[in-house]
Amino acid sequence: MAEIKFGEFYKSKTRIFLKEATIVGFILILIFIFTSYILKYIYDSKENHNFHMILSIFISGYLFHLACEYSGLNVWYSKDYCEIIPNTK
């Protein structure tokens, strides 16, 4: 069994998670801007602004999840994530 130095593992794991969170956040923002732009033309943006914002967030998350699933990104991430986690047996 390979010995894992906690400090090095923690630093690299944290760095990986921060990169992933940044990329996911950026892509989600792009999808949100796109859906907000489309909904602005479908609905009158002056009426019920909160509903349009909530609907934009929901559609953005929905589209992002579908895009990750059908592009194979979820499978790729799962395989790489399992390699990062140490074997605790």
Instruction: Judge contact between 49 and 57, C-beta under 8 A.
Output: no
Residue boundaries of the structural domains of the chain: 32-84
- Give the pLDDT score at 89: 46
| Averaged pLDDT, 64-71 | 88
Which pTM value belongs to this model? 0.64
Distances (CA, A) of 17 to 11, 54, 80, 86: 10, 27, 12, 15
Instruction: Judge contact between 33 and 59, C-beta under 8 A.
Output: no
- pLDDT category, 60, cuts 50, 70, 90? very high
Q: Does residue 2 have a pLDDT over 80?
A: no
| Averaged pLDDT, 20-34 | 89
- Give the pLDDT score at 82: 63
